[in-house]
Amino acid sequence: MGSRRHSREYALQMLFQRDLGGSGSAPAEVNQTFWEGKEESEEVKKFAESLAIGTVTQIVRIDDMIRRQAQHWRLDRMAAVDRNILRLAVYELLEGATPPAVIINEAIEIARKFSTDESTQFVNGILDGIRKELSQEVGS
């Protein structure tokens, strides 16, 4: 597994920990406890932390985008892992540093590992809708 995938998985776990701990958990607080007992390269840690912190920083905008695409699904009714996979991927889509197809594929693979078979389709559908929404914004 590549170091970027590993970082994304760690970022998902940090977001999940923050989500279950209540939104009052500061990203720095989560990061501090998260790495205890884990031996990872600085590159993996740095990318994972930048993804998690960036996602939390833009969470209001990200959640609004997810809500628009997830018709008939409230965020609080989604499985916590799926909600955070979507948040993480949407953050990366907004950043624009990685091609959208790579981001969506990574999110699907992470959903396959950490969630259910149905989640892969759900994640793919939501992210594809957001990708289209963002490409229309850029085109206008």
44-95 pLDDT per residue, tens: 999 999 999 999 999 999 999 999 999 888 998 999 999 999 999 999 999 9
pLDDT at 27 over 70: no
pLDDT top residue among 22 and 42: 42
Q: What one-letter code names the amino acid at 107?
A: A
DSSP state of 37: T
Q: What one-letter code names the amino acid at 19?
A: D
Name the least confident of 24-28, 87-91, 129-133: 24-28
Q: Alpha helix locations (H) across the chain?
A: 3-20, 27-34, 42-57, 59-69, 80-95, 100-114, 117-139
56-61 contact pairs (CB < 8 A, 24+): 56/15, 56/18, 56/27, 58/91, 58/94, 59/87, 61/94
Please tell me the distance from the alpha carbon of residue 54 to that of residue 21, in angstroms, as a whole number: 18
pLDDT at site 17: 87
pLDDT at site 78: 93
Give pLDDT tens digits for 100-128: 999 999 999 999 999 998 999 999 999 99
Helix axes 3-20, 27-34, angle to 10 degrees: 120
pLDDT at site 36: 82
The CATH homologous superfamily to which domain 3-139 belongs is NusB-like (1.10.940.10)
